[in-house]
Amino acid sequence: MGKKPFIVGNWKMNLTLSEGIEFAKSLKNSLHGINEILCGICPSFVFLKDICKVLEGSHICVGAQNVHSEKNGAYTGEISALMVKEAGCTHVLIGHSERRHLFGEIDSFINAKIKTALSVNLKPIFCIGETLKEREEGRTEYVVEKQLKDGLLGIDNNHVEGLVIAYEPVWAIGTGKTASPEQANEVHSFIRGFLTDNYGKVIANSVYIQYGGSVKPENTAELISQPEIDGLLVGGASIKLESFLKIIDAASIQ
């Protein structure tokens, strides 16, 4: 699609603060002067401010892993979009499958979170994907389309432009089972088609569609070389600097 690959590491609930800071410092040094790719990391909430500080002056962006849908209020234990923005984040993961499946997040809640994130100028990385059962029943496209429709309900075209969507088949997350490059590309094409039908070709082509699910250095090149895969959302392989750098390296030479 002619875009720079956008590689994001989702650290989930991993690393300590000191490990995170060391990682960010080394990543910044390693990527200094490299302009062929876009890169980001999504650390724990409590590391965000420190890591944003370390990465100041670099092109590496920082995202939170979640935010609440309300702007503020009596929501004990929750974090607002503005708090995350003030910590220095530019992005936020919304609707990650672990939030959907382990914490019961539904499409309408995800839609509200996307709107709130956009209202404070945070860029959502909107995650979607089917379960193994849904795939086996032949319902992948139905599920993905519903997640897209409900998640993007009422969102202006200008906010869909340049949006990041991460297609993460649930059965491929943390399982070592990657979708084949063709399987991933097929769903990415479907997502692009949905965007074209609903927002037009120009906006559809401006959207970054990342693939996530057991991405590792060994499968990066073939995934990223698929025409509809604009980037990768990496879990387990992003918490070790060496493997994350190998992924970035493999993606940038495509």
- Give the catalytic positions in this structure: 96, 168
The site string for ligand 13P over 221-240 (x = CB under 6 A, - otherwise) reads ------------xxxxx---
Residue closer to ligand 13P (CB basis): 226 or 238? 238
Binding mask 8-27 for ligand 13P (x = CB under 6 A): --x-----------------
* 129 part of the interface to ligand 13P, by CB under 6 A: no
Instruction: Figure out which of the listed residues 48, 61, 83, 215 binds ligand 13P, where binding follows CB under 6 A.
Output: 215
| Among the listed residues 176, 191, 184, 168, the one whose alpha carbon sits nearest the alpha carbon of residue 224 | 184
- Give which of 40, 39, 45 is closest to 12, Cα–Cα: 45
* Residue whose tokens read 């970054």: 208
Stretch that binds ligand 13P, among 82-90, 133-141, 144-152, 168-176 (CB under 6 A): 168-176
Minimum CB separation of residue 249 from ligand 13P in Å reads 17
Q: Tokens in use for 46?
A: 């409590």
Task: Give the whole-angstrom CA distance, residue 164 versus residue 39.
Answer: 13
Coil vs helix vs strand at 3: coil
**Distance from the Cα of residue 25 to its chain's centroid:** 22
Instruction: Output 51 or 94, the one with its CB closest to ligand 13P.
Output: 94
C-beta separation of 185 from 209 below 8 A:
no
> What is the closest distance, in whole angstroms, from the C-beta atom of residue 176 to ligand 13P in the complex?
8
- The pair of structure tokens assigned to 179 is 């979708």
Q: Confirm if 204 and 249 have CB atoms less than 8 A apart.
A: no
For the bound state, the minimum distance from the C-beta of residue 74 to ligand 13P, rounded and expressed in Å, comes to: 30
Among 105, 134, 168, 230, binds ligand 13P (CB under 6 A): 168
Contact residues for 37 (Cβ-Cβ < 8 A; gap 6+): 4, 5, 6, 7, 248, 251, 252
Contact residues for ligand 13P, defined by CB under 6 A? 10, 96, 168, 173-174, 212-215, 233-237
